[in-house]
Amino acid sequence: MTPQSRIAAVAAPLVLILLWQLACLSGAFPAQVLVPPSEVARTLAALASSGELERHIGESMFRLGLGYVIGALAGLAFGATIALSRWAEAAFGPFFLALWQVPVIAFVPMLVIFLGIDEPFKVAIVILAAFFPIALATFDGVRGVPRTWFEVARVYRTRLPDLVWRILIPATVPAVLTGLRLALTRAWVVLIAAELLAADSGIGQMMEMGRQMFRIDVVLAGVVVSGVIGFALDRGAKAVERRATRWRTA
Amino acid sequence: MSALLSRPWLRIGVGLVVPALVLIWWQSQATAGGARAIAFAPLQSVGTAFVELAESGLIFSDMLATLSRSLSGLAIGGALGIATGVAMACWRPLDRVLGPLLMAIRQVPLMGWLPLIGLWAGTGGASELIVVSISAFFPTMLNSYEGVAHVERRYVEVGRIYGFTAAQRFRLILLPAAMPLVLTGVTQAFAFAWISSIATEILLGVGGGLGVTMQLAQTQQRLDIILVTIIATALLGFAINQLFCSLRAHLLRWQASPL
Amino acid sequence: MFPDVRSRPPAEAKAAARGALTISDLDKSFTIAGAPRAVLDGVNLTVKPGEFISIVGASGCGKSTLLRLIVGLDAEYSGEIRLDGERIATTSLDRGIVFQDHRLFPWMTLGQNIELALLNTDTPKARRAQIVADHIALVNLQGFETAYPHQLSGGMAQRAAIARALVTEPKLLLLDEPLGALDALTRVHVQNELQRIWMAQRSTMIMVTHDVEEALYLGDRVVVMSPNPGRIRRIVDVDLPHPRDRSAPLLHRLKDEILAELTARPADPANLVRLPGREER
């Protein structure tokens, strides 16, 4: 990042906020349509001081964390299994690919019937959202290890633990990490959608309640918070990815 | 052992084992009775639900509604996305100003816009279309930008050798060179528009569409109808995606190996 | 600083009517990490109309930079580069170039790629198809008009690039290692073809190459350059009529000489690489 683009990256949102504030001050928009950022900030502060914001964020993060960990572990295990065993691939591959065609969000009505609209449903939808991209990335990552590397290992008579530890895992890590990162942001998007639909807490629910009560300031506060969390998740995952793949040139 | 798998019939057979087991398990759950039987619709009722939906034509009008919503969103969001991406790549100042703004906006989960847009545009078809258009906007914008911004300099130099005007350079070099990525963006945008159509239909439940039917079936505890619509969603989504891929391959037939 | 170029006698200017290139006191430097770095230093060269000049030299001697300056892709230099008396500041349809990578547009067919060069010429639209067909025939690519570049072999693509460069009938054709990416056999084949084309067209050509044999086989004169900064070290006359015989003893003798020249270390003659051919003499 050049210093110039760094400045632009900081300045642009500030300019946006300024324009937004000016647009509201001009009186062109009635308060039911758009409230100034200063008011959104006030609402955010009020939500924060009453502990309500903390509770919503906490609930959302708990669902995301739990569902993501389960979905990621299952995805890693499944992806690695079907990549390493031709039989497992033949047995599970077609079913997996068929399910992969269904947008995760389309499972929502079915999951609601099975699990109701409480916590298990929201965690389950996050599990699904995380499972598929991670399983696919792991499969591609393991299958993508060049055959020649295994041949090199055979030439040097590398033992199996060394083969796994020194070749298979390092070669697979970049693809898997990218999958983990994409799955994290995707899980967040799906969780927000699920919370909009059915929840008694969480950022999505906060926005939905705001909409039903025509509290545009609350809705906008939710938009800002969900955006900041999405950004932080993506940046955090990218930082992990970079650290873990320092050896890569590109 | 795994050499056996090279026989196609055996491979297909092995691939059918898991779905068959799932179906048997499902059926046993449905017929076992008790509280779970309501959730697990027996397979024959899924069949009758399909016949019912097909005969009434509901499933087809739903498919058409969701499809036309996705394609309208793709047309609006995709056109704006390509125009914005190309303009930003061609004109640096615009990129400086608009780039970080759009990146900031992109951080908000797509459905997070729904309550806000619902307040502005009501909870009708207009809100659905706006969200679907936004979902199609970002993939086309980002890919078009990348495509035009990273046109190889060596091709631009050939244009200079033969005295190309700015318009010629754009039409004959920048646009075709960026085309693979632009089309990648359009294909991605369709997938996004498709998903967000279903999502907005489920969330708002207005107008027609596969999502609306799913949502309605959920309130009526009709898992059979949900399963039929899920299968319809998967098949149609898959078919349209294949169509986009072959369209892309046709338009990019000048490439050595179509991606 | 360059009065001789500007106040040239009319007779000489007339003789240099088509494709005469004069390079005088040419300096060129790039800024690398904030510090200027000389790439070309005091280059002087006069090319007669219709002459074939080969330029050889080690990597980094500025050969390709020199061609980029002549073709007008880079206008920042000090000194003079004049084509038929006119100072070169930008690209022009007077000057064609063939790059090492053929640079055919992958999204156009071979025919479209060649026709593209005529886009901004005043050639009547009706005649363009015929001119394109003629040039495709010139490089022996009949039947491949509608093929996309990825369907052509390396040698065919490079011949197509040569046809594209020739179709505007440039006074001066520059060839930047045009055969560098080809395998040895294809290379010999395209060299023969290039010689045939040059004899048919008789436009001025300047070719940069790594291959001393190729430089001698095609060039009326071979310019030997030395690197860091790029300077002309020597100009070798190849006094043999075209078409040439590859086995001509003169070519072999000159090749040994030039190779020795190129591999010599100017500062320390004791380090000179002793080639077998050189030992014999």
Please give the CATH topology (third level) of the domain spanning A51-244.
MetI-like fold (1.10.3720)
Distance from CA of C48 to the nearest CA of B (A): 23
Q: Give pLDDT, residue A98.
A: 84
Q: Give pLDDT, residue C280.
A: 42
Cβ pair B161:C107 closer than 8 A:
no
Q: How does residue A209 score in pLDDT terms, banded at 50, 70 and 90?
A: confident
Q: Give pLDDT, residue C9.
A: 41
Cβ pair A113:B223 closer than 8 A:
yes
Q: Give pLDDT, residue C272.
A: 47
Q: How far from A48 is each of A226, A231, B4, B15, CA to CA, in Å?
A: 15, 20, 63, 53
Q: Give residues 36 to 75 of B whose Cβ lies within 8 Å of A.
A: 39
Give the full edge-to-edge strand order of the sheet including C172-176.
Answer: C95-98, C172-176, C204-209, C52-57, C221-226, C231-237
Annotate B118-164 with DSSP letters as a single string. Answer: HHHH-SSHHHHHHHHHHHHHHHHHHHHHHHHHT--HHHHHHHHHTT-
Three-state secondary structure readout of C77-92: CEEEEEECCEECCCCC
Cβ pair C105:B155 closer than 8 A:
yes
Annotate B33-101 with DSSP letters as a single string. Answer: -STHHHHS--HHHHHHHHHHHHHHTHHHHHHHHHHHHHHHHHHHHHHHHHHHHHHHHH-HHHHHHHHHH
Which residues in C lie closer than 8 A to residue B163 (C-beta atoms)? Answer: 91-93, 119-120
Cβ pair B112:A207 closer than 8 A:
yes
- Facing residue for A90 by CB, picked from B11, B100, B101: B11
| Partners of chain C (3+ Cβ pairs below 8 A) | B
Cβ pair C148:B164 closer than 8 A:
no
pLDDT in tens, C16-63: 357 889 999 999 988 888 888 888 998 999 999 999 999 998 877 888
Compare all CA atoms of chain C with the CA of B155 and give the residue at the minimum distance: C103
pLDDT in tens, C231-276: 898 899 999 998 899 999 999 999 999 998 888 765 444 444 555 5
Distance from CA of A212 to the nearest CA of B (A): 8
Q: How does residue B11 score in pLDDT terms, banded at 50, 70 and 90?
A: confident
Which residues in B lie closer than 8 A to residue A189 (C-beta atoms)? Answer: 109-111
Q: How far from B80 is each of A79, B77, B142, B175, CA to CA, in Å?
A: 37, 5, 12, 16
Which residues in A lie closer than 8 A to residue B116 (C-beta atoms)? Answer: 207, 211, 216, 219-220, 223
- Residue C259's φ and ψ, nearest 5 degrees, are -60, -40
pLDDT in tens, B187-241: 999 999 999 999 999 888 887 889 899 888 888 888 888 888 998 998 998 898 8
Compare all CA atoms of chain B with the CA of A215 and give the residue at the minimum distance: B119
| CA-wise closest residue to C165 among C270, C109, C93 | C93
Phi-psi region of C95 (alpha: psi -120 to 50; beta: other; left: phi over 0): beta
Q: Is the minimum CB–CB distance between B235 and chain A shorter than 8 Å?
A: yes
| CA-wise closest residue to B153 among C92, C101, C110, C207 | C101
Q: How does residue B22 score in pLDDT terms, banded at 50, 70 and 90?
A: confident
**The complex's ipTM?**
0.81
Q: Give pLDDT, residue C161.
A: 93
Query: How many Cβ pairs within 8 Å bridge chains A and B?
Result: 155
Cβ pair B115:A13 closer than 8 A:
no
Cβ pair B99:A12 closer than 8 A:
yes
What percent of chain C has pLDDT above 70? Answer: 88
Q: Is the pLDDT at B40 greater than 80, yes or no?
A: no
B60-90+97-251: CATH number: 1.10.3720.10
- Facing residue for B255 by CB, picked from C92, C105, C150: C150
Tell me the β-bridge partners of C222: C54, C236
Mutate: best of B69, B94, B119, partner A, most A CBs <10 A: B119
Q: How does residue B64 score in pLDDT terms, banded at 50, 70 and 90?
A: very high
Cβ pair B2:A109 closer than 8 A:
no
DSSP C223: E
Cβ pair B112:A91 closer than 8 A:
no
Q: Is the minimum CB–CB distance between B20 and chain A shorter than 8 Å?
A: no
Q: How does residue B38 score in pLDDT terms, banded at 50, 70 and 90?
A: low
Which residues in C lie closer than 8 A to residue B164 (C-beta atoms)? Answer: 119-120
Q: What does pLDDT average to over chain B? A: 86
Window from A62-71, B45-54, C21-30 with minimum mean pLDDT: B45-54
What is the amino acid identity at position C26?
L
Q: Is the pLDDT at A3 greater than 80, yes or no?
A: no
Do A221 and A50 touch, CB atoms closer than 8 A? no
Q: What is the mean pLDDT of residues C152-179?
A: 91
Whole-angstrom Cα distance, residue B19 to residue A48?
49
What is the amino acid identity at position B23?
L
**pTM of the entire structure?**
0.82
Q: Give pLDDT, residue A250.
A: 45
- Facing residue for B233 by CB, picked from A102, A228, A234: A102
Q: Is the pLDDT at C277 greater than 50, yes or no?
A: no
Q: How does residue B3 score in pLDDT terms, banded at 50, 70 and 90?
A: low
- Facing residue for C71 by CB, picked from B161, B163, B179: B161
Q: Is the pLDDT at B79 greater than 90, yes or no?
A: yes
Which residues in B lie closer than 8 A to residue C96 (C-beta atoms)? Answer: 161
pLDDT in tens, C177-220: 988 878 888 889 889 988 988 988 888 999 999 899 999 999 99
Which residues in B lie closer than 8 A to residue A223 (C-beta atoms)? Answer: 108, 112-113, 116
Do C140 and C64 touch, CB atoms closer than 8 A? no
Q: Which domains does chain C have, with CATH numbers?
A: 3-94+170-280 (3.40.50.300)
Q: Give pLDDT, residue B36.
A: 59
Q: Give residues 134 to 193 of B whose Cβ lies within 8 Å of A.
A: none
Which residues in C lie closer than 8 A to residue B158 (C-beta atoms)? Answer: 103, 105
What is the amino acid identity at position A216?
I
- Residue C211's φ and ψ, nearest 5 degrees, are -100, 110
Cβ pair B161:C119 closer than 8 A:
no
DSSP C273: -
Q: How does residue C6 score in pLDDT terms, banded at 50, 70 and 90?
A: very low
- Cα-based torsion angle of the residue sequence C121, C123, C126, C130 in order, rounded to the nearest 10 degrees: -100
- Facing residue for B112 by CB, picked from A11, A101, A192: A192
| Partners of chain A (3+ Cβ pairs below 8 A) | B
Exposure of B231 in the CB half-sphere (CA atoms within 13 A): 12
Start-to-end CA distance of chain A, whole Å, equals 15
Which residues in A lie closer than 8 A to residue B226 (C-beta atoms)? Answer: 109-110, 113
Domain boundary assignment for chain B = 60-90+97-251
Distance from CA of A18 to the nearest CA of B (A): 12
pLDDT in tens, A25-57: 877 777 767 788 888 888 888 888 888 888 889
Q: Quick check: do A and C touch, 3+ CB pairs under 8 A?
A: no
Window from A43-47, A92-96, A145-149, C177-181 with minimum mean pLDDT: A145-149
Which span out of A193-202, A239-248, C33-42, C202-211 was modeled with the highest average pLDDT? Answer: C202-211
Distance from CA of B124 to the nearest CA of A (A): 14
Q: Is the pLDDT at C157 greater than 50, yes or no?
A: yes
> How many CB atoms sit inside 10 A of residue C205's CB?
27
Q: What is the mean pLDDT of residues C108-131?
A: 91
Q: Give pLDDT, residue B76.
A: 96
Q: Is the pLDDT at C12 greater than 70, yes or no?
A: no
Q: Is the minimum CB–CB distance between C97 and chain B shorter than 8 Å?
A: yes
- Facing residue for B161 by CB, picked from C91, C108, C148: C91
pLDDT in tens, B97-126: 788 788 888 888 888 888 888 888 887 788
Distance from CA of C152 to the nearest CA of B (A): 10
Q: What is the mean pLDDT of residues A192-198?
A: 85
Q: Is the pLDDT at A160 greater than 90, yes or no?
A: no
Q: Is the pLDDT at B155 greater than 90, yes or no?
A: yes
Q: Is the minimum CB–CB distance between C2 and chain B shorter than 8 Å?
A: no
Q: Is the pLDDT at C3 greater than 70, yes or no?
A: no
Q: Is the pLDDT at C5 greater than 90, yes or no?
A: no
Ordered alpha helix ranges (H), chain A: 3-25, 37-49, 52-84, 86-100, 108-115, 119-143, 147-155, 160-162, 169-197, 203-212, 216-244
Q: Give pLDDT, residue B82.
A: 95
Distance from CA of B49 to the nearest CA of A (A): 15
Q: Give pLDDT, residue A183.
A: 92
Q: Is the minimum CB–CB distance between B173 and chain C shorter than 8 Å?
A: yes
| CA-wise closest residue to A62 among A181, A235, A229, A202 | A202
Query: How many Cβ pairs within 8 Å bridge chains B and C?
Result: 54
